[in-house]
Amino acid sequence: MHIVLARDDHGAPEIFRSIQGEGPNAGRIRTFIRLSGCNLHCVWCDTAYTWNWRDTPFVHESGKKFEREAEAIKLTIEKVAAIAAPLASEGYVITGGEPLMQRAVLPTLIDALKATSPDAAIEIETNGSILPPDALAESVDLFVVSPKLAHSGNDVSLALKPDALATYAALPSAVFKFVAREVEDVATASVIARDFGIKPARIYIMPEGTEAGALSQRARTLTVAILAHGFNFTPRLHIELFGAARGV
């Protein structure tokens, strides 16, 4: 069984141990496995090398396009687990791109990771627009669901799927991370939270940006609204620590 991963700057599969920069486990050491492919196309995506192939119509603020052959690598599940095992930490983060594009093979990947690291938690970072299969919902310890708002440039009908959002809202293992550019985005998150019955304690607001100074500035403008709604704030620690780089 195979799975398609992103490549790092050296062409190797993007599997690495680092400090989680975002969400409820920000600051904790995790082992990351970055999958290639995404069903959405955010104009500010910081991993556009997982989907913005040359000869596709998708628009990105950087104006950059990527060669699929140079950016994606297909490996067996056994090979992925073997690369990840020596990098094990207290949790694996399966990220992307959109990991659920490859949902059919994710349970097998999780079984392979658990075979070598039985105590490691399994976390998935998703845009929340694809229904998680039951087998996945049972084996994943934490879903960090990041629904994409209008400023991402995606059509709302593609980005916000009520059935998928309702499923994640009903999963105790899911938290929600909203990328925000403006104060109004925090208000939009609160409408979604109300519509799907998501308690504020499960919601994280993260400023959009890939440059530390701009991120800090944006974070300051969002703080009052975050406090008013009782949400959590999440930084992007990896940007502060490493900049907008791959494999870190």
Q: What is the strand order of the sheet 29-34 is part of? A: 15-19, 29-34, 91-95, 121-126, 142-145, 174-180, 203-207, 232-233
- Tokens for 39, please give them: 């069903």
Binding mask 206-225 for ligand SF4 (x = CB under 6 A): --------------------
Query: Which residue in the set 42, 81, 113, 193 belongs to the binding site for ligand SF4 (CB under 6 A)?
Result: 42
By three-state DSSP, how is residue 72 classified?
strand
41 touching ligand SF4, by CB under 6 A: yes
98 touching ligand SF4, by CB under 6 A: yes
CB contact set of 74 (below 8 Å; sequence gap of 6+): 2, 3, 4, 5
38 touching ligand SF4, by CB under 6 A: yes
Name the residue nearer to ligand SF4 (CB basis): 120 or 136: 136
- Binding residues for ligand SF4, total number by CB under 6 A: 12
DSSP string covering 22-33, please?
A: SGGGTTSEEEEE
Dihedral angle of Cα 119, 199, 160, 30, to the nearest 10 degrees = -20
CB of 189 to ligand SF4, least distance (A): 16
Residues 79 and 206: their CA atoms lie apart, in Å, by 34
161 touching ligand SF4, by CB under 6 A: no
Query: Which residue in the set 45, 73, 198, 222 belongs to the binding site for ligand SF4 (CB under 6 A)?
Result: 45
124 touching ligand SF4, by CB under 6 A: no
Name the residue nearer to ligand SF4 (CB basis): 6 or 122: 6
Residues 229 and 200: their CA atoms lie apart, in Å, by 7
13 touching ligand SF4, by CB under 6 A: no
**Which stretches of the chain bind ligand SF4, using CB under 6 A?**
38, 40-42, 45, 47, 50, 96-98, 127, 148
